């Protein structure tokens, strides 16, 4: 997945402007998060989603979700 590198409000605005699906992945340190992260990082997923998704990844281990 190509993760949006800006702030969350900018990601939302970008999705609205382009009519893209806004994806939020909240990553933890549990097995489900590890499996989901592997799926999102798959090259085929990245290719398939690059034009129609704006995605952000929030890591639960971070103390600040600002960028």
CB atoms within 10 A of CB 27: 16
State whether residue 31 is helix, strand or coil. Answer: helix
pLDDT at 50: 83
Q: Which residues of 37-53 are buried (b: 16+ CB within 10 A; e: fewer)?
A: beebeeeeeeeebeeeb
Taking only the tens place, the pLDDT of each residue in 8-44 is 999 999 999 999 999 999 999 899 999 998 999 899 9
Assigned domain for 67 exists: no
Asked if residue 1 belongs to a domain, the reply is: no
CB atoms within 10 A of CB 1: 19
Answer yes or no: is 40 within a domain.
yes
Instruction: Report if residue 13 sits inside a domain.
Output: yes
8, 48 contact by CB (below 8 A): no
The residue-averaged pLDDT of 42-50 equals 89
- Segment 38-53 mean pLDDT: 90
Is 44 inside a domain boundary?
yes
- Domain count along the chain: 1
Q: Which range of residues forms the domain containing residue 36?
A: 8-59
């Amino acid at each position: 997945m190509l993760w949006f590198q800006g702030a969350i409000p900018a990601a939302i605005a970008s999705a609205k402007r382009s009519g893209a699906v806004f994806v939020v992945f909240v990553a933890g340190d549990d097995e489900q998060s590890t499996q989901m992260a592997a799926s999102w990082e798959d090259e085929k997923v990245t290719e398939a989603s690059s034009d129609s998704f704006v995605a952000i990844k929030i890591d639960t281990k971070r103390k600040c979700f600002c960028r």
